Structure 1
Amino acid sequence: MTIRTKLLLFIPLLVLLVGSITLLLFRSTNVVQRSYDQMMERLLLYKQAAQTSNQLLQSLYSNRDDPTDVSAAQLLQLKIELNRLQAQLLGNGFSLSTASESIGYAQMLGTLLDQTQAALASTTPAEALALYEKAEDTAGFIYEQGSQLIDMELEADQPVFHRIQQENVQLLRLGAAVLIVETVLAALLALWISRSITRPIGMLVESAGRIARGELEAEPPQLARRDELGMMAEAFSGMLGGLREIARLEREQSEQQRLLGELELRSLQSQIRPHFLFNSLNALAKLALIEGAERTSDLIVSMSSLLRYNLQSLDRPVTLREELAHVDAYMTIQQARFRERITFERHIDERALNTMLPPLTLQPIVENAFVHGVEELERGAVISLSIEVIPDDQAVRITVADNGKGMAEQVRRRLLQATSDDIHNAAASSSPPPSNTKASQSAGLGMRNVFRRLELFFGERELIAIDSAPGQGTRLTITLPAVSKPH
């Protein structure tokens, strides 16, 4: 029998037992309470009727001596109230011991109402006085009869009170017994669950803890069961065997992977060269031809900085501050070439500038945004570079955005496939690309080269995100660990 079947069998039975006993207790308590409520309601009606009769008589006397609208309204209200009490007495029923007296009491209330109405309708003072005296006698009878009925009800209901007390004691005992039974059954169920479920799970957790600490040779628990826990133990044993095999393969390949990673990093870094120098030198030549030599010296200084940065050792990591200076030099040349056609925006968080990363990372990305994003725009071209610190994630976010022509989804996915096989296959391809796609393929190779170097440098994947659509520009985001160390 599976654990699920056991739980679905025993728990509903326990709930059904407890619910049945609780329903029985509730119905018994309800019967006792209803009897008590009916008795107390009759006693209260007797008392209210006597009080209302006395108030009605006083109001009749006041209205006879000094009839006013207020006294007449009060008298009418009391008559309505007494009539309601009479109807309620007749409608609620009577106890067997006081049935005839209760009916007579209700009829006396009707007699008092008739006498009051007759006194109000009398035409002479003598007649009114005589009717008032009759009403006064009737009110006295009502008061005395009400007191007698209350005494009779209390005397007749003494056995009822005794029975109610006995039933309450029995209900308390039954409730205590039910509570004890529920507690025992719950304890037995908890003990059963503990022995049949939590104990094997605890054994599996202990074995998993040893494996997490690197003790792959630890033997898994053997559970001779045919339920879900037995299946879990078998799956755990199979997983442990797979982990042992993976660990063996990792030990064999660890040194080889380390050497291959180092060689691949050097190979990928060697592919990055300043392939924008031709365009930059062409811009310098045109500017010198048009302007003479004034601004050319500034451009030559920027160009020398670019050359010096590109010719440095690619094995040495650099800071974001150095990369940013390299990008500034590049954009100085491009803005001199295109003047007002292009705007370069910078939003830099100084706290992020000491982060380490591979050299020649930002400039190729900015160049790609320029060449393939905004170069064809006649005016209003904008390239923005944002560097910010993300405190919660302990990371640095670099964003390069442009308002250029964007790219298709297929091109975006191809750029993000930054694997060494893609780069090597693209570089070794012997068939020349069509003339209209050669530049885009070269740029894609350079961008994927940058992405791959970042992954090898930080030892992490999915550092790059690209958001782009045709005609809507491109936003490229790089998320780097805040503590950057070369791998």
Structure 2
Amino acid sequence: MKNKMKLSLNTIRKKMLFYFLMSIALVSSVSVYLSINSNKFFRKIDAMFLSSVLLEDMQNYLAESEKNLALFIRTKDSDSKNNYQLNADLLNENAEKLKNILLADDYNIERLTNLIDTFTKNAEEAIYAKQGRDANTMREKYNYVHQVGKYIMEEIQWLNLQQLKQNTEYYSALARNNIIVQKANFVMIVDILVLSCIIIFYITYKMTDPIMKLSQSAEEISKGNFDVDEVIVTSEDEIKIMAEAFNKMKSSVRNYIEELHNKSEIESKLMEKEMQNLKMQTLLNNAELQSLQSQINPHFLFNTLNAGVQLAMMEEAERTSCFLENLAAVFRYNVRRLDKEVTLNDEMNSVRAYIDLMKVRFGDMISFSVDIKDDELLQLNMPPLILQPIVENACIHGIGEKEEGGNIDIRVFRDEKDGLIEIVDNGVGMDKEVIDGILGKASAEETMPEKPKKGHTTGIGITNVIQRLRLYYRKDDIIDISSVKGKGTRVVIRIPAQEGKTCTS
């Protein structure tokens, strides 16, 4: 690619044209960027006030609908009926438009649309009763329509007020962001100007420096000094051609001994460079080979573990076979993709396999208990690799730091409609400041990736677990951590039954 660039810029004219077009492209890019940001700002402003305009129109359409309905009830005028129908249709149309707009406080638009449906349905029944001369039904339906209209008007006014508050806050934030963007744009413009000046100075230097060297060498040769250094030009243009011709002219007056000496010296340098290139290529080939040899296919590891299980079974080493099966199960589960949901039953199976591994590692130092009160909860969907990191923390940081060991209890039970997963240990515990730090880090908008901790199998920390739970269930109170220093820690995960869809397979 570098050689192609040199070939394409092999004249001063092409270089000047290229650098000129590059400067224009930089300035144009900044202009386009500023224009796009400006358009985005104004589009956000328009979208921000669209909901307020729709709500204001809905108030007018509702008032006109009630007015024309009342006029029809009194006069039975067909124009009043048509005007009512027109305004009612516009009212419903605006309500449908509101469904595509994010309203304040996540307002449920279905409540407003249901009121409007009730309003139009009873209004039509009142019109039908009026046409059928059923005065009692007409009076009853009209009074009910009037009452529902009040409810709708109050609902629209309340929603309009909330929307106004939200739009005010959003506009303030947007204005602050716009100031930041303006400052960033200013810095960008200054950077472009500075970069353009640097490019201009660099090009000027690269073009005039070889000419000055040629002038100095020509002056020395005119004085009879043929031992001046050769003029070296790295650019591929007319100046290099001039420098090469000048160097050839100077070399032609030297004797044959100097020419042979220079030639042998050049050949020696070329040979040394080729040897260096050959050594460098050998080093690169060795590095590439080592890189290929260091790549281990997870399927190879699974197959190897399975072969170990079969070998242990053939040798009747049941504990070793069970250990390898659990290790393969934990590893297979840990390398799965984190964006694929699993069931609580899958999580519990992985935790059981991990517990069996910890029993081999710690022996009687740590005791485990698993209590599932409701088997139906095992079919709830959840993100993968949630329970194992919590149990790992309890083993390594809770019980592992106690010489006498301890207990880890896992319970799954139902609390009203929600499912609860409780993990309790009697380890060293932690201070409230530590818990607040964990929850605060999980609530941060921008978080740095967690470094893998020694002794952990997944590299997934408790902060990552909390963040994925909150994103999956869209709730902040999805997990609760309580601890007493020196007594232990209790972690409770609440799975909302109405949002945790069950897996039927």
Larger relative contact order (CA 8 Å, sep ≥ 6): 1
Q: Which of the two has higher C-alpha Rg? A: 1
Same fold judged by TM-score > 0.5? no
Q: Tell me the TM-score range normalised by the shorter chain.
A: 0.3 to 0.5
